[in-house]
Amino acid sequence: MIRALILSLGVLAALPALAETAAPATPPPEQVVAGLSENQIAITATFNGSDILVFGAVKRQTPPPDSAPLQVIVTLEGPPNPVDISRKGHVWGIWINTERARVTSAPAFYAIATSGPLNDVLSQTEDLRYKITIPQAIQDTGIASQVPDGEAFINALIRIRKDQGLYVLDQGTVAVEQATLFHTDIRLPANLTEGLYKARIFLTRNGQVVDVHKTDIRVRKMGLERWLYELAKNQPPVYGLLSLVIAIAAGWLASAVFRLVKR
């Protein structure tokens, strides 16, 4: 019910706003108008993941073409970081890390939701152009010079992060109604890192991207989490001493309490 309300409110609010803006030189025949249920996510001590509702509508000047069905792809990309990938080898009877490759940039989180099977909604050339699928989100230039089989390392990175719930591909989870309204839920896991998360919503027909809409979600530690994090980064000696004081006080307290209990 609330979701439906947000959905209709969002569409109503967005449509006139868009109409007021100056028309671009050649407006695409179909434009996406979209919103998110949240633009800020606070990581507090009890943070246990979050659901983001992505919703929107298609705005048209002319009746929809009836050639191919309208499809929607939603991506959400976390802050990028370099990642080291190590592979173990069997050397003299023991397993040790023998090869290592560094990926210059891999998103800490990447979710992609589609309205149908990925191969149907997106052509390979369009994927290369807009960098939509998970392998495209990882920048692996130069990996071939580090290890002979760079692709195996990239696949391992994707596999491990998929297992951790950090890379997600949900096919067919975007609901499209009457070729105009759409909505989907994207689950943000509990092991989230802070930073700017970029959301993109693509409209496609016949595998070709018709229009794209971009927006951001700010993920930030709040409250006690923020305070501890800032103290650890900005005042390391104070933070270290605080850790020790807490440890010693707790040790003393437990000893004192148990002494009282035993009496």
Coil, strand or helix: which one is 102? strand
Answer for which of 14, 57, 108, 112 binds another protein (CB under 8 A) is 108
45 sits near another protein (criterion: CB under 8 A): yes
d(CA 216, CA 36): 9
Q: Is 146 in the site for another protein (CB under 8 A)?
A: no
C-alpha–C-alpha distance, residues 73 and 152, integer Å:
27
Segment contacting another protein (CB under 8 A): 10-18, 19-27, 55-63, 218-226? 218-226
Between residues 128 and 248, which has the closer beta carbon with respect to another protein? 248
Size of the site for another protein (CB under 8 A): 63
Are 178 and 184 in contact by the 8 Å Cβ rule? The answer is: no
How far is Cα 94 from Cα 82, in angstroms, rounded to an integer?
29
Residue whose tokens read 């050339």: 125
Of residues 179-208, those binding another protein (CB under 8 A): 190-194
User: Residue 209: which residues within 8 A CB-CB, separation 6 or more?
Assistant: 122, 126, 129, 130, 202, 203
Q: Find the angle CA(12)-CA(121)-CA(80) to the nearest 5 degrees.
A: 80
From 53-61, 171-179, 180-188, 236-244, span contacting another protein (CB under 8 A): 236-244
* For another protein, the closer CB: 24 or 93: 93
Residues forming contacts to another protein in the complex (CB under 8 A) are 43-49, 81-90, 93-97, 100, 102, 108, 153, 156-157, 159-161, 190-194, 221, 224-226, 228-229, 232-233, 236-237, 239-244, 246-248, 250-255, 258-259
